[in-house]
Amino acid sequence: MTGDYPAKEPCLFLYCEPRVFCPSLNKSRTLCTDQYWGRRMLREITALGSKLALGIAAALLSALAPAQAGLTISSNPTQNVSCDAAAHCSATAPSAAMNVHELKKLLASQPRVVLDAATAKDIDLDAPVGWTSSSSLSLMARGSVLVHKSLTVAGPGGLRVKGELLLAPGTGVSFWDLSSSLNLNGNAYQLVGSLSSLNNAIKSNSAGYYALANDYDASVDGVYANTPIEGDFTGVFEGLGHTISHVAIYAYGPGSAFLGLFSVNHGTIADINLTGAKYRNGVRFDAGILAGDNYGTIRNASVDGSVRNVEGALAVGGLVGGNAGIISASRSVAQIEGDQSAVFAVGGLVGSNSGTIEESYAEGSVSMAPPNSPSGPGGLAGVSGGVIKNCYSLAHVHGVTGYYGGLIGGAGAGSVAASYAAGQIEKANHSGGMPGGVTGYQPLRRIEKYSDTYWDVDDGVRDPSAAIASVPNDQGVTGLTTLQLQSALPAGFDSHVWSQNPSINNGLPYLLRNPPR
């Protein structure tokens, strides 16, 4: 390996040099080889010395709902809404209401119904809406269309949305007929009802627009030997708030280098839940329940299940293996196990991060035994040289050797802001493992920038100077007791992003846009 090759894509791994390219890999990716890792770490081990050598649905409704204005669809009487003979209804004031029963009558009798927020800006669906006719419904907003209750196109009709579509947990947009139409902000989406139909559609056009019509139980598919959605996805997949359950992948031997529901995402994946996933990972570069790698955007995604890395992966995470894109308002409640051949990174949400993670969190558990690198597992990210802001981890972190952290296993030249770790950090017994409250390993020459970052000193790392296990550098990181974290938002936490409630998240700070479920 030399530094003569320009990097073709952002480096997913913390310790890659900016202009290092590994030509032996079959994709233009800046991944470090084991040999380079060894040479790099040998220099840093020498610098560190012998020490290293040894060793809430209700909350979301209030958060999303307009404070004083908006057009609300509810059981309340219609107010400040005017409808013409063509069933084009518009709000006539900043605060307006459309009675849901009157709306259903229009959908039963008119070929097309338009509900325009106009001066009200946002539309708030606060009552279930469904229809069996061939009528199409258009929801037009200058701001957001907030779906707090289910919306069901139960016949051959269609739905058109203009504005930012926001779906509260437990809600969604459903279609009973796959021939129905869906148009979001001028883009026509193809409705799919199974993983096989989604895979076939993406094979034909990886840059298309696709939406999941209903929940899907993948147990009928049996066990996948490789990634269900193959290749590089460059389009838009809109989950519409639905759940894909019981995806099982037991991948051994040759196959896709990146393991997840999607192999590699360069597009947008939004509003999707995966539950009961079981992945057993063979020889792969990166693995995550939703995607092996993400270079695009993942928004409002939730996963639970387990990923057990058996052989040779570089990065393993609950949501994605490697992230060089943007992950927002997402979560992982998964059990992640990285065995001895998981060379680089194991994290609760992301294995390796060189992109941006925001307003996201991890629960579940993370373990890595033993790592072939100085940094072990991290509650949120295994390694990170990117941006982490407004995030937290409640994951149980267990390291056997090396360094590991409540939020990050190993950190580079990135940043962490307004984030905290409050999961149990289990200290390794008689194995030389060294936990940090926030970060495990941090190279001397690649200092992470921390601001308004905290950890719970009652959950395993009680030493207030042990924010970072490998170096005495905890500037911008503060240890707080559980009671202190429960008593008030820590300094630097924006009340428009964070909130607290004794009955939510055990009283710990939670994200308004992404509350516990």
What is the per-residue DSSP string for 439-491?
EEE--TTSPPEEEEEEEETTSS---TT-SBSSSS--TTEEEE-HHHHHHSPPT
Identify the three-state secondary structure at position 319.
coil
Give the pLDDT score at 422.
97
Phi, psi of 455 (to 5 degrees): -145, 155
Q: Greatest CA separation found in the chain?
A: 82
Pair of tokens at residue 92 = 């006539």
Mean pLDDT for the stretch of residues 350-366: 96
Rounded to two decimals, what is the model's pTM?
A: 0.87
Strands 70-74 and 381-384: unpaired
Residue 27 has pLDDT above 70, yes or no: no
Residue 43 has pLDDT above 50, yes or no: no
Phi, psi of 195 (to 5 degrees): -70, -35
Give the pLDDT score at 515.
95
Give the pLDDT score at 343.
56
Pair of tokens at residue 319 = 């949501």
Mean pLDDT for the stretch of residues 353-374: 86
Report the amino acid identity of residue 419.
S
> Mean pLDDT, the chain, as a whole number?
84
Q: How confident is the model at residue 476 (pLDDT cuts 50, 70, 90)?
A: confident
Give the pLDDT score at 42.
30
Give the pLDDT score at 57.
42
Domain ranges of the chain: 67-184, 190-395+407-419+484-511
Give the pLDDT score at 28.
33
Distance from C-alpha of 30 to C-alpha of 172, rounded to nearest angstrom: 38
Mean pLDDT for the stretch of residues 129-157: 97
* Most confident listed range (64-73, 184-193, 402-411): 184-193
* Tens of pLDDT, residues 303-320: 999 998 656 678 899 999
- 318 contacts 332 by C-beta, under 8 angstroms: yes
Give the pLDDT score at 296.
98
Distance from C-alpha of 398 to C-alpha of 377, rounded to nearest angstrom: 7
Secondary structure element (H or E) that encloses residue 35, with its range: helix 34-48
Residue 50 has pLDDT above 50, yes or no: no
Report the amino acid identity of residue 185.
N
Give the pLDDT score at 311.
64
Identify the three-state secondary structure at position 269.
strand
- 362 contacts 31 by C-beta, under 8 angstroms: no
What pairs with residue 322 in β-bridges? 293, 352
* Tens of pLDDT, residues 171-194: 999 999 999 999 999 999 999 999
In this structure, which topology does domain 190-395+407-419+484-511 adopt according to CATH? Answer: Pectate Lyase C-like (2.160.20)
Secondary structure element (H or E) that encloses residue 224, with its range: strand 223-224
Q: How far is CA 201 from the centre of its chain?
A: 24
3-state helix, strand, coil in the chain (%, to 5): 10, 45, 40
Mean pLDDT for the stretch of residues 85-109: 97
Distance from C-alpha of 24 to C-alpha of 1, rounded to nearest angstrom: 9
Residue 430 has pLDDT above 50, yes or no: no
Q: DSSP assignment, residue 504?
A: B
